[in-house]
A and B are shown apart, each in its own frame.
Chain A
Amino acid sequence: MLHEILASHSVLNDFFGYVQHHWGEHTTAYGRSFSAALLEALNAWGIVEGSHLLFAMLFFGCILVFDARLLGITFRDVKISEVSEKLLPFTVISMTILLASGVFVFFSKPQDYYHNIWFRIKMVLLLVAVINVYIFHKIVQKNQAEWDSAASPPTKAKMSAVISLTCWVLVIGCGRLIAYSWFECGKPHSDWMNSLEECQTSPLGAMTPADFTRQLANEKTANDAAAAAAATPAAAAPAPTAGATKPEAK
């Protein structure tokens, strides 16, 4: 019993559902929630989305150049610490604004994003990227003085760069795929996909291919029954009585 309640109920889903659909509906224009109002705001949304994309480009641009230096592809004659020192302020500022604007982007459709598989993968990749940065600063950079000027840094630094670039490329890819509804809850998916997206707690529900086939079969049966009933006037309607008139065309 408890298992069933837990499976069909999610505090986070309920919370995000309330935020997305109801919070602020009595105070905003057209009775929209704050989330919907933000999404449809002419200029506020432009600031949020524009900041997210522009700072993503600035962030990725700096990361790409730095990781390429770690891989020994660019700036081979320049010290790694110099590239890092000059680009780090831009990466820190852009990441801060990316996270802040990302919170607002999430706020625009929190319940939809919460159940979106691409969003979930993106969050995991972000976590991996952050852990990679931590490992780079705490472990890989320990003896950076020895290879700071090396045209081709050691393998551990290159590994760090490869993980970083892979994570950020995938984060950008997942960010774009969030807009696609291939794996939206309520569509027929395998059990594991429904579980990964917690579809059973979403307003659209969970559906497996077997459920979908069953639903189609039920609909077909219902349609066939309706067609059969329509083809048998006696069963479809009482026999016309004298003086009965045709219904007026609407």
Chain B
Amino acid sequence: MYLAQLSKMLPESPDAIFSKMHQVKDWEASLKDWPLAHWVNTYFAYIEIVHFMGLFIFSASVIVTCLRLIGVGLTNEPVSVVEKNTRWFLHIGVVLAIGSGLLMGVGNADKLYNSQIFTVKMIAMIAGLIFSYCVMVPVAKAEGQAGGLAKLGMVIAMALWLLALVTFSITPTANVGIFHILWGGALILFIALQGKTRWVYAIGLLALILPWQVITHVFIREDLDAAKYMVVNKAFMYLTGAWITGLSLYNIFGKAAPTGSNAFARMTAYATILVWVTVGAGGRWIGLS
């Protein structure tokens, strides 16, 4: 009943859509026979290095601009000046990363087509591009003020990022990669928080991480009681996640925050850095999952 109603809403019948999906699958399967795929596989390591360099180059722009949006780093200059002077790093890095990424995709089409974590990476990458170009850049140009485009971009990119995070967290064998994003958030928070709150946060974080490591490696060991180990491990993960997320929101909405920034700018900075960490973590786990 529901499916029948849904099929009426679709522009084409489900059979036609499935047929097209099969065409995509066939096209993907043919990629490995392309001469380009052979070339990519021969020089894969070098292309991968270009991919890495692209990530590192645009991270220079994203990190320096976002730190300024938070209110730290090059604070003697207006945020628009910081963005303007690092803009080319963003463009060059994105072109290098996406160009090399496309080549790597041609060489590994079969593996990536069937990889759930690759889907996560692609969703996060689209969110990252929206955050960078439609939110971070306009907000920086407007000295931290949010216009209509930035607000719309924030909503769309945030929804995509959350979708990527949820999919990441339910992807078997790769969901441990969420830890990288959590850790990225922890590090940004340490830089962003000001005054005593920074040290309260750091002590709280250590008070969670150290017992977590000791308990899960000495007292409740994976080899002796796997079920209990997983429960304790997840409990600590949620507690640490709650501590970091809670204090991030506390900081974003104006507590213990540097002067000269606002909530939207801080939200933009946190999200833009972390969405790219999600892309990186996704890429890392494609090879391992």
Contact = CB atoms under 8 A, between A and B. Distances in A.
Nearest to B60: A61
Interface of B: 45, 48-49, 52-53, 55-57, 59-64, 67, 73-77, 81, 85-86, 88-89, 176-177, 179-180, 183-184, 187, 191, 209, 212-213, 216-217, 221-224, 233, 236-237, 277, 280-281, 284
A57 B86 contact: no
Contact of B176 (A29, A42, A51, A65): A42
7 contacts: A29-B223, A50-B281, A54-B180, A77-B81, A78-B77, A86-B76, A90-B67
B74 A176 contact: no
Given A50-B281, A61-B56, A90-B67, 16 more contacts: A28-B217, A29-B222, A42-B176, A57-B56, A58-B63, A61-B63, A64-B89, A65-B89, A74-B88, A86-B75, A87-B73, A90-B191, A169-B53, A172-B49, A172-B56, A173-B52
A133 interface: no
Contact of B184 (A28, A50, A65, A172): A50
Contact of B45 (A54, A78, A177): A177
Contacts of B180: 46, 49-50, 53-54
A177 B179 contact: no
A176 B52 contact: yes
A47 interface: yes
A127 interface: no
A64 B57 contact: yes
Contacts, number: 119
B84 to A, nearest CB: 9
A61 B233 contact: no
Interface in A158-178: 169, 172-173, 176-177
Nearest to A77: B81
Nearest to B240: A43
A75 B76 contact: no
B86 A43 contact: no
B85 A74 contact: yes
A118 to B, nearest CB: 10
A30 interface: yes
A44 interface: yes
A136 interface: no
B183 A54 contact: yes
A43 B213 contact: yes
A78 B84 CA distance: 13
